[in-house]
C-alpha cells in the first residue's frame, strides 16, 4: 500500500513538473510575441498605417479557432487565449480608450433613477464575479440547471459546465413556482451542495433569493444573488440583497417597463451596492408560440439609459430548448454582455422547466460560438 501511494505521488509530481515547465515556456513565448508586436506597431507608424487591423485580427482568430478544433481544443478556449495575448500586444502599442464614441447625454425624465442612469463623466459599470467581468466588452455565458435537485445531479451538472468552460454557474435552491404544488427547491441544503460542487471546480455561483431574511445566509455561500422577475419590485428584498455586498442579478418583470426596471435597480444602488447586472427575460404579450416574448430591443434601449451591464435570459423567454441558441445569437447581435441559460445533465428527469433545459451538447455549441467573444 505504501509503495503504491509513493509511486502515485511520484507520477503526479512528474506530471505537474512537466506542466509547470510548459507554463514557463508559454510565458516566454507570450513575452517574445509582445516584443514583435511592438516592432510591428513601430513599423506601421513609420509607414503611416493604422496600428490595429481589426479585420486581420478577426481572420487570424478564426483560423486559430479552426486549428485548435483539429487539436481537440474548444473554440471558446482558443478565443480566450488569443484575445488575452492580442490585447496585451495592442496595449503595448496604444493608449487604449474605452470611452463611448458619441457624447454621453443624461436621459430625459431620469431623476427617479439618478444613480442608475448614464450621464457625462460616469463610467460604464463592470461587475466582477470570480474570473468573469460582466460589462468589460466580452460575452459571458452563465449556465446551469433550473433547480438544484440532488447532490448527485448538481455534481454532474458542475462537471459538464466546467468542462465546457462555464465560469458562472446558475442553479435554483429556492424555487418560486407558478403552482404551490410544484417542486419548490431544497433551500439552504441545496445551496450547500451547489456551492461545494461549483467552487471545487473553480466556478462561482448565482442563485435566487426569495425572502429578505434569507439574503445574509445565502450570501455566505453564493457569489452572486439573483432577484427574480416575480420579485423585481419587492423593495425589502432589493434592500436586503444590496446590503450583503454581493453582486446582484436583477431580472425584468414580465409586465415591467424599462423605467420600472431601472427604478428597481436604483433601490440596490441607493444602498451602496453598484455591482448590479440587469437581465431581460421576456415580457407577456398575446403570442403563444413561446413562453414569453423576448424583448431584444430592451438591450440597445437600456444602453441609452444606464451604465449598468445587461444580459439576456433566452431560456425563460423561449420555454423550449430548440430556439435558445438562436436567441443567444440575437442577444449577442444587439450588444448584450451575456446570457443566462438553463442546462441539465439529464433533462428528461428534471423537476422543473425540463422543456427549456439545454442538453450538454446544446450548451457546448453555444459556449463554443459565443463564450468570450467580443461584444458587438
Q: What total of structural domains would you count in the chain?
A: 2
CA–CA dist 342, 85 (Å, integer): 31
Residue for grid cell 443567444: 328
CA–CA dist 204, 146 (Å, integer): 16
Candidates 263, 214, 254; CA nearest to 230 is 254
Report the Cα 121 to chain-centroid distance in Å.
Answer: 26
Report the Cα 93 to chain-centroid distance in Å.
Answer: 30
Q: Is residue 264 part of a domain?
A: yes
Query: What CATH number is associated with residue 39?
Result: 1.20.59.10
| Residue 283 DSSP label | B
Count of C-beta atoms within a 10 Å radius of residue 62: 13
Are 239 and 356 within one domain?
Answer: yes
Beta strands per DSSP E along the chain = 127-129, 132-134, 140-144, 168-170, 204-208, 224-227, 248-251, 276-280, 310-312, 338-342
Q: Is residue 305 part of a domain?
A: yes
| Last residue within a domain, chosen from 30, 56, 91 | 91
Q: Is residue 97 part of a domain?
A: no
Q: Is residue 166 part of a domain?
A: yes
Class of residue 1 by CB neighbours under 10 A (exposed 0-12, middle 13-18, buried 19+): exposed
DSSP code string of 319-339: -SGGGHHHHHHHHHHTT-SEE
Domain containing 129 equals: 111-370
CA–CA dist 92, 94 (Å, integer): 6
CA–CA dist 304, 116 (Å, integer): 12
Are 206 and 246 within one domain?
Answer: yes
Are 82 and 132 within one domain?
Answer: no
Query: What CATH number is associated with residue 268?
Result: 3.20.20.70
What's the pLDDT score for residue 9? Answer: 74
What's the pLDDT score for residue 96? Answer: 43
Cell of 49: 498605417
For helices 2-46 and 75-91, angle between their N-to-C axes, nearest 10 degrees = 50
Residue pLDDT, tens place only, 216-262: 999 999 999 999 999 999 999 999 999 999 999 999 999 999 999 99
Are 215 and 141 within one domain?
Answer: yes
Are 344 and 235 within one domain?
Answer: yes
Report the mean per-residue pLDDT for the chain. Answer: 90
Q: Is residue 96 part of a domain?
A: no
Cell of 235: 423593495
Are 41 and 140 within one domain?
Answer: no
Q: Return the SS3 of 360.
A: helix
Q: Is residue 105 part of a domain?
A: no
Q: Return the SS3 of 358.
A: strand
**Is residue 148 within 8 Å of 135, Cβ to Cβ?**
no
Residue pLDDT, tens place only, 306-345: 999 999 999 999 999 999 999 999 999 999 999 999 999 9
| Last residue within a domain, chosen from 91, 122, 138 | 91
Low-confidence ranges of the chain (pLDDT < 50): 95-98
Are 138 and 285 within one domain?
Answer: yes
Q: Is residue 294 part of a domain?
A: yes
Q: Is residue 100 part of a domain?
A: no
Are 78 and 120 within one domain?
Answer: no
Are 256 and 366 within one domain?
Answer: yes
What's the pLDDT score for residue 97? Answer: 44
**Is residue 79 within 8 Å of 369, Cβ to Cβ?**
no
Are 268 and 341 within one domain?
Answer: yes
Distances (CA, A) of 331 to 203, 299, 324: 23, 8, 10
Are 206 and 353 within one domain?
Answer: yes
CA–CA dist 318, 358 (Å, integer): 12
Are 31 and 122 within one domain?
Answer: no
CA–CA dist 251, 86 (Å, integer): 34
CA–CA dist 234, 140 (Å, integer): 27
Amino acid at each position: 500500500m505504501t509503495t503504491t501511494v509513493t509511486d502515485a505521488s511520484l507520477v503526479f509530481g512528474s506530471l505537474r513538473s512537466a506542466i509547470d515547465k510548459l507554463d514557463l515556456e508559454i510565458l516566454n513565448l507570450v513575452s517574445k510575441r509582445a516584443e514583435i508586436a511592438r516592432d510591428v506597431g513601430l513599423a506601421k507608424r513609420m509607414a503611416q498605417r493604422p496600428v490595429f487591423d481589426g479585420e486581420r485580427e478577426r481572420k487570424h482568430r478564426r483560423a486559430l479557432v479552426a486549428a485548435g478544433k483539429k487539436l481537440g481544443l474548444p473554440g471558446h478556449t482558443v478565443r480566450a487565449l488569443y484575445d488575452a495575448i492580442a490585447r496585451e500586444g495592442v496595449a503595448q502599442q496604444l493608449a487604449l480608450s474605452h470611452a463611448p464614441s458619441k457624447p454621453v447625454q443624461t436621459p430625459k425624465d431620469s431623476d427617479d433613477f439618478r444613480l442608475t442612469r448614464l450621464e457625462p463623466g460616469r463610467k460604464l459599470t463592470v461587475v466582477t464575479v470570480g474570473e468573469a467581468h460582466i460589462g468589460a466588452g466580452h460575452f459571458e455565458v452563465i449556465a446551469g440547471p433550473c433547480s438544484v435537485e440532488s447532490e448527485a445531479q448538481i455534481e454532474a451538472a458542475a462537471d459538464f459546465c466546467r468542462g465546457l468552460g462555464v465560469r458562472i454557474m446558475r442553479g435554483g435552491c429556492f424555487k418560486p413556482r407558478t403552482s404551490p404544488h410544484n417542486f419548490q427547491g431544497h433551500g439552504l441544503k441545496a445551496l450547500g451542495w451547489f456551492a461545494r460542487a461549483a467552487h471545487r471546480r473553480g466556478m462561482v455561483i448565482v442563485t435566487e433569493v426569495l425572502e429578505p431574511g434569507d439574503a445574509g445566509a445565502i450570501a455566505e455561500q453564493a457569489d452572486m444573488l439573483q432577484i427574480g422577475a416575480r420579485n423585481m419590485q419587492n423593495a425589502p428584498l432589493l434592500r436586503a440583497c444590496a446590503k450583503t455586498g454581493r453582486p446582484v442579478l436583477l431580472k425584468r418583470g414580465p409586465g415591467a417597463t424599462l423605467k420600472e426596471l431601472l427604478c428597481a435597480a436604483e433601490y440596490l444602488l441607493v444602498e451602496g451596492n453598484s455591482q448590479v447586472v440587469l437581465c431581460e427575460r421576456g415580457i407577456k404579450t398575446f403570442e403563444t408560440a413561446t413562453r414569453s416574448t423576448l424583448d431584444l430591443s430592451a438591450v440597445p434601449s437600456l444602453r441609452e439609459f444606464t451604465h449598468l451591464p445587461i444580459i439576456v435570459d433566452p431560456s425563460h423567454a423561449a420555454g423550449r430548448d430548440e430556439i435558445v441558441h438562436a436567441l443567444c445569437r440575437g442577444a449577442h447581435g444587439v450588444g448584450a454582455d451575456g446570457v443566462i441559460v438553463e442546462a441539465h445533465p439529464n433533462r428528461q428527469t428534471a423537476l422543473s422547466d425540463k422543456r427549456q433545459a439545454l442538453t450538454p451538447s446544446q450548451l457546448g455549441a453555444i459556449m463554443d460560438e459565443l463564450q468570450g467573444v467580443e461584444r458587438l
